[in-house]
Amino acid sequence: MELRQMRHFIAVAEHENFTRAAQSMHIVQSALSTSIKQLEEELGTPLFIRSTRQVRLTMAGKVFLDYARTIGAVVEKASQEVAAIVALKTGTLSIGTVQSVPPFIDLPQLLETFIRRFPDFDVKLCQGSSAKLNAKVHNQQIDLAIMPVEEVSDRLSSRIIACDEIVVAFAADYAGFTAMQQDVTMAHLAQQSFIDFEAGQGTRKVNDNSFALQGLSRKVTFEVSDLETLLSLVERNMGIALLPEQVVKARSTTLHYCRISDVDVCWELAVAWLSDRPGSMNVYDRPVQEFMDILGSSD
């Protein structure tokens, strides 16, 4: 049974005439008659009493007409709702981010731009660990997520949207370095005490991987869940931290930093979404594509 057949049936019922019904549907009468005959065969009963002058509904036809009209109205409403979503006139875009999104991603500005362009479309924002965000995207609880590229699930698609060099942040009176220190080796860093994010948050994974690739281990004295606490502990000389350069520059009055001389460490952020297959660049929802276009224009 097809919607097309229901529309044909409703037209015949309303016009009580096959010729006029065919004209209203812009099809030839033979095609309309065939469509109605197939519908009657599928239902196993006549829907019309046919005469030379008039077409009338059978008892079964009267019952079927009520349902056909209800179905037609539901389909029309669904079509309108879909069109509204495509036009971004209604709906909700759900975005997830890791905690402590760095300053080189101006998330409030991105959200403001999207809302200004599409004022009738709602936006919801949630924060969490990369593991939770990956699960939410995959389960379609959120539409996309912003997280470190190395933490994106291999079940999702992703695109790098920003990157920043990882530098060593320390207090002005930190004994391990001088305020004028320009760079430091990984071996020297391995002898220091670190303040870092908890596992699965912030730059923790890229930091751990940097030492592991050099065959080095390090001591993490404090593990925190938010950037502000981490920065405050570094400012109080409780240890050093590996952070994106732009983050440390924003605290230039209280923090110094130097570069790592023997390895290149970058923190790359990506936007991740669910596509037709892992790694595909296809985006099937216009709201998601519009937000990603805004992200792209801010690169």
The predicted pLDDT at position 216 comes to: 95
CA distance 30 to 156: 50
How many Å apart are CA 75 and CA 77, to the nearest integer?
A: 5
Burial class for 143, CB neighbours closer than 10 Å (0-12, 13-18, 19+) = buried
**How does pLDDT run across 232-250, given as a tens digit for each residue?**
999 999 999 999 998 999 8
pLDDT average, residue stretch 92-120: 87
Q: What is the pLDDT of residues 239-278, one digit of tens each?
A: 999 999 989 998 999 999 999 999 999 988 899 999 999 8
CA triple 131-134-135, angle to 5 deg: 90
Q: Do strands 144-148 and 266-273 pair parallel, antiparallel, or not at all (unpaired)?
A: antiparallel
Q: Which residues contact 33 (CB under 8 A, 6 or more apart)?
A: 18
Instruction: Return phi, psi of residue 140, to 5°.
Output: 60, 30
- Ordered domains of the chain (ranges, CATH): 3-87 (1.10.10.10), 91-161+271-296 (3.40.190.10), 163-268 (3.40.190.10)
Structure pTM? Answer: 0.70
For the stretch 17-37, pLDDT in tens is 999 999 999 999 999 999 999
Q: How far is 144 from 194, CA to CA, in rounded Å?
A: 32
| CA-based nearest residue to 271, from 152, 112, 119, 163 | 152
Compute CA distances 94 → 127, 140, 141, 235, 281, whole Å.
11, 9, 8, 35, 19
Least confident of 30-44, 46-60, 207-221: 46-60
Burial of residue 20 (CB within 10 Å: 0-12, 13-18, 19+) is middle
In the predicted model, is pLDDT for residue 229 greater than 90? yes
DSSP single-letter state for residue 198: P
Instruction: Look up tokens 């709201």; give the residue.
Output: 287
Residue 174 contacts residue 237 (beta carbons within 8 Å): yes
